[in-house]
Structure 1
Amino acid sequence: MTTTPTPRPRVAITLGDPAGVGPELIARLLSRRENTDAADIVLISDADELRAAGEDAGLPVAHGDGPGTGLPVLYDNSGARPAGTTDGFERRKATREGGLWALANLAVALDMARDGRVDAILFAPLNKSSLHLAGMTENDELRWFEEVLGVETFTSELNVLPGLWTARVTSHVSIAEVDAGITRDNVVEAGLLLDRVLRGSGLAAPRIGVCALNPHAGESGRFGRHEIDVIGPAVGDLAGHGVDAAGPFPSDTIFLRAKAGDFDGILTMYHDQGQIAMKLMGFDGGVTIAGGLPVPICTPAHGTAFDVVGKGVAATGSVQNAFDLAVAIGGRKAAV
């Protein structure tokens, strides 16, 4: 019996905010031959940034200038380097220049994805203050991705640990705004997205647990009726779409059930409801995926870690997991 080989995915990589640990993390990631063998990698950067990344990591960032070298290919984006940064970027601090550079490199990656030149994107940690100083008006990079790519359908950040994925009905909004975002349609859209992305990752029959919004799942309406009037009916709708979803369950116990293996994914109602649990369960290995876009976009779930820049102690578990997911999902996309 013969099998068709899986195409090598093409992955675009950016080094994130130059003030943080992103450049060092990417340098370490690409120092491992098993990573550079796993995909055709395009580095969107310039020689100066790669040199600085290698200095932080204590090893050079090897790259080629074209295909066929067996090395990551450098897309030289030096023409987009902000004025005044020829001697490097200010480190350990949110700056307009760092935000401009991060957005410029991400814009190239999105163009490559739109044109079908790459199958997935990995970006190192960003700093939202830098992005907003650079002129980004959206609340976060996911909304910016939507704008650049012209996406009008439902999107959500998904957070991933080995064996467990989460998606959110609401994300980067104030707690005061969460209530308005918990609608039956939004819960269904988020649940469908989580199921679709889990299947896209290779899971044939994902099991999804749905969080309640209120304490004790509302306690039969005593603490609010969201579970009775909105979330419970939405779970029924998801079942009608063929999604194996159950709930709503109290959020203070659902992650214990997931840890025991009851669920592959959890749908949360707001940002910290899931993020606190996921970061306690595996801060150094977490991954964030921009779900609902036409291209998989992965990043470490941690931030720019200004406090450890240049110290050689930044953990690579999350960036490795993010790369592995980009390769896996991008490979399936390339095979279609």
Structure 2
Amino acid sequence: MSKPRIAIVPGDPSGIGPELIAKLLNLDGVLDAANIVLVGDGHLWTQGAQQADLPVALTPISEADIAAQDGLHHLEMDTIEVSEIQISTVSEAGGRTSLRCLDKALDLAQAGLVDGVLFAPFNKAAMTSAGLNAEDEHKYMARYLGFDGYHSEINVLDGLMTTRVTSHIGLKDVAANISKDGILKAVNLANDTLRRAGKTRPSIAVAALNPHAGDNGKFGREEIEILEPAIAKAQARQMDVTGPWPSDTVFLKAQRGEVDAVVTMYHDQGQIAIKLLGFERGVTVAGGLPIPVATPAHGTAFDIAGQNKANVSATRQAFDLLVRMAKTHRADREQETTQ
């Protein structure tokens, strides 16, 4: 099978995104792993090259020629003037270019011209001012793609994935929003995403909600009435799922490599653990979408933007994971066309 083709978006130009992509493109093995289309205004990529003090080749390509050309190419956009870029500053212009470049990358993926999308960090405030009109970029992408199936942000560290049953809600509302169906969806999302990344039979641990996994109902009955039945149902579907495990020990199992994924009940239950285990290597996957999309888990880092201090480790991790997922996506699509 030929190499997958990846569209790369520079992220918010006021942050470290363009610098990160310049550094990524100069790492060993990157250009050998995938055909790459840089989607964005030429001066954004030049900006990143200058910030990183590294070369970035901008070989132009038309949208009509993308499928026929291999290697590294640049699809020119016209979304922001050089004078509009203010380093380390939230701006509507930065949000506008982020959205328009992302839209184009998603268009390419929907048309089958690329097999996955990698974006450098966005700034949600800037995107909101430019018309994001969604909780986050993941919800935005689902709406843009016309996808109404189950999807959720997945956090990845090295070989470990985490999904969550509830996400951006207040802690006081978590228990009321946990259901058997929600747990099964989070388990299925972890299982399916790991399989797309090349794991034949993923091992998944479900974290408990209450201290000591409820201690047989002493500290809450959610484990008995909701989590355990959901886990049993997943096991009946022949998935390798265990739990509920106390949340203060389940990530020790993960750290030892005993499981491939942890399903958490709420946002910070998994986020704190993942970021402590390796913040500089964390990746975010747009789980459940019909196309593979990944990004480094950190933000735009306005405090170091333009200073050639950005650590490219998480971006490389995101790229490597996306390549594996894109290969599976490409193979599935090719199989569908031959049936």
Same fold per TM (> 0.5)? yes
Which of the residues 208, 213, 233 maps onto 2:204? 208
Q: Partner of 1:73 in structure 2?
A: 73
Equivalent of 1:295 in 291, 298, 311: 291
Q: What displacement does 1:63 show?
A: 2.2
Q: In structure 2, what residue type is equivalent to 1:221?
A: G
Cα shift at 1:88: 4.4
Taking the aligned partners of 1:181 and 1:22, their CA distance within structure 2 comes to 35
2:27 maps to what in 1? 32
Q: Does 1:275 align with 2:261?
A: no
Deviation at 1:26, TM superposition (A): 0.2
Match in the other structure for 1:156: 152
Secondary structure of the corresponding residue to residue 75 of structure 1: strand
CA–CA distance in structure 1, aligned partners of residues 20 and 132 of structure 2? 25
Q: Deviations over 1:24-56 (max 9, x none)?
A: 000111123521222111111111111111111
Deviations 1:149-177 (A, max 9, x none): 11111111111112211111112222233
CA gap of 1:50–1:274, structure 2 versus 1, over 3 A, is same
1:3 maps to which residue? Answer: none
Shift of 1:75: 1.1
Give the TM-score of the pair, scaled to structure 1: 0.94
> What is the alpha-carbon distance in structure 1 between the residues aligned to residue 293 and residue 314 of structure 2?
14
Q: Would the aligned equivalents of 1:63 and 1:71 in 2 still touch at CA under 8 Å? A: no
Mapped to 2, the partners of 1:177 and 1:155 lie a distance apart of 20
**1:317 aligned residue (310, 313, 333):** 313
Following superposition, the deviation at residue 236 of structure 1 comes to 0.7
Residue 13 of structure 1 corresponds to 8
In the alignment, is the contact (CA less than 8 A) between 1:20 and 1:304 conserved in 2?
Answer: yes
Distance 1:128 1:216 in 2: 36
Q: Distance in 1 between matches of 2:231 and 2:70?
A: 48
2:125 matches 1:129 = yes
Give, as a single letter, the amino acid of the residue that structure 2 aligns with 1:164.
Answer: L
SS of aligned partner of 1:23: helix
Partner of 1:42: 37
Inter-partner Cα distance in structure 2 for 1:201 and 1:147: 24
Identify unmatched segments of 5+ residues in structure 2: 333-339
Distance 1:197 1:303 in 2: 23
Are 1:256 and 2:249 counterparts? no
Q: Is the Cα contact below 8 Å between 2:9 and 2:102 reproduced in 1?
A: yes
Helix, strand or coil for the counterpart of 1:307? coil
Q: Residue in 1 aligned with 2:49?
A: 54
Distance in 2 of aligned mates of 1:25 and 1:206: 31
Paired residue for 1:120?
116
TM-score by length of 2: 0.93
Note if 1:181 corresponds to 2:173.
Answer: no
Q: Distance in 2 between matches of 1:145 and 1:134?
A: 15
Residue matched to 1:239: 235
Question: Percent of aligned pairs with the same residue?
Answer: 44
The answer to whether the Cα contact below 8 Å between 2:42 and 2:58 also exists between their aligned partners in 1 is no
SS in 1 for 2:223: helix
Between stretches 179-188 and 279-288, larger displacement belongs to: 179-188
CA distance in structure 2 between the aligned counterparts of 1:173 and 1:22, rounded to whole angstroms:
28
Deviation at 1:178, TM superposition (A): 2.2
- Cα RMSD of the aligned pairs, angstroms, is 1.5
Once residues 200 and 117 of structure 2 are traced to their aligned partners in structure 1, the CA distance between those partners, rounded to angstroms, is 24
Q: Answer whether contact 1:18 1:91 (CA < 8 A) is retained.
A: yes
Q: C-alpha distance in 2, partners of 1:307/1:20? A: 8
Q: For 2:56 and 2:170, how far apart are their aligned partners in 1?
A: 41
Separation in structure 1 between the aligned mates of residue 128 and residue 217 of structure 2, nearest angstrom: 41
Q: Is the 8 A contact 2:58 2:74 kept in 1?
A: yes
The separation in 2 between residues aligned to 1:107 and 1:202, in whole angstroms, is 28
- Which letter does structure 1 place at the counterpart of 2:244? P
| CA–CA separation in structure 2 for the residues paired with 1:186 and 1:42 | 37
Could you tell me which of 84, 91, 94 is aligned with 2:90?
A: 94
Q: Is the 8 A contact 2:292 2:326 kept in 1?
A: yes
Q: Which residue identity lines up with residue 11 of structure 1 in the other structure?
A: I
The answer to whether the 8 A contact 1:170-1:182 is kept is yes
What letter is aligned with 1:27?
A
Structure-2 residue corresponding to 1:140: 136
Using a 3 Å threshold, how does the CA distance of structure 1 residues 70 and 198 change in structure 2: closer, same or farther?
closer
User: In the alignment, residue 73 of structure 2 is paired with which amino acid?
Assistant: V
Kept after mapping to 2: 8 A contact 1:21/1:125: yes
Deviation at 1:96, TM superposition (A): 1.3
Q: Which letter does structure 1 place at the counterpart of 2:18? A: P
Q: Please give the alpha-carbon distance, in whole angstroms, between the structure 1 residues aligned to 2:134 and 2:33.
A: 34
SS in 1 for 2:174: helix
Q: How many Å apart are 1:70 and its aligned residue?
A: 5.9
